[in-house]
Amino acid sequence: MAETRTGRFGSVVLAGLLSAGLGSVASGKAWYSASVDYKLAPGVPDPDKTADMPLALALSLVVLAGWGALLVSRGRVRRLVAGVALVAASGVVACVAVAPFTLPDQVRDRLPAVSGGVAVSPTGWFVVAGVAGVLSLAVLVLAWLRSPQWPTMSSRYDAPGAEPPAARTDTDLWKALDEGRDPTDPIEGPRPPSP
């Protein structure tokens, strides 16, 4: 049963990291571009022929950072991080949904007046960002639902049946060092203060 749970954990995290990474790259690229004849608009620089969505890039980076935080957190904090990343992924999907209504006009407004209509079309990066955003959203829903059962980083390396060490103060650690004992050794380490 633990292997199945760990397997799901690994596949969900891998899918989440891949979709978030791909979404971050795609969100940093131009989503719409105009095909302008150089004879009609000479000297128009390439940045004026394209439009991107900076908000989508920022939200994609939040999703990517969220996966990093999911790996090192536990309990309620892990679920909260998954929720924040889920909201950010929803924002990326919303940016993709709004882009066809706003970005083509941004490109047209930057171009000089040319005879005839200017053809503005989505780039492949727009499609990739849309697919990656929807995938991130789906995987984060799984992460939010399953994260309470996932193993935590520190518990994986704990000895079976090990009890947490008694609360130690910095003074106890320094006293152990002064007495020539190793403060990291559970047997020889600092002794609790005597009452």
Tell me how far apart the alpha carbons of residues 96 and 90 are, in angstroms, rounded to a whole number. Answer: 10
pTM summary value? 0.69
The alpha-helical segments, DSSP class H, found in 32-146 are 54-72, 75-110, 124-146
- The DSSP bridge partners found for residue 33 are 50, 121
**Helices H, strands E: what count in the chain?**
6, 3
Output the pLDDT for position 3. Answer: 44
Tell me how far apart the alpha carbons of residues 195 and 175 are, in angstroms, rounded to a whole number. Answer: 16
- Expressed in angstroms, the distance from the first to the final Cα of the chain is 46
Tell me how far apart the alpha carbons of residues 77 and 148 are, in angstroms, rounded to a whole number. Answer: 10
Tell me how far apart the alpha carbons of residues 148 and 145 are, in angstroms, rounded to a whole number. Answer: 8
- The domains located in the chain, with CATH, are 2-156 (1.20.120), 166-195 (no CATH)
Q: Which amino acid is at 118?
A: V
Digits of tens for pLDDT over the chain (195 positions)? 444 555 577 888 899 999 999 999 999 998 888 876 555 555 555 556 778 889 999 999 999 999 988 888 878 888 899 999 999 999 999 999 999 998 888 887 777 665 456 778 888 999 999 999 999 999 999 988 888 787 776 555 555 555 555 556 667 777 878 888 877 776 665 555 555
Q: Which amino acid is at 136?
A: S
Coil vs helix vs strand at 19: helix
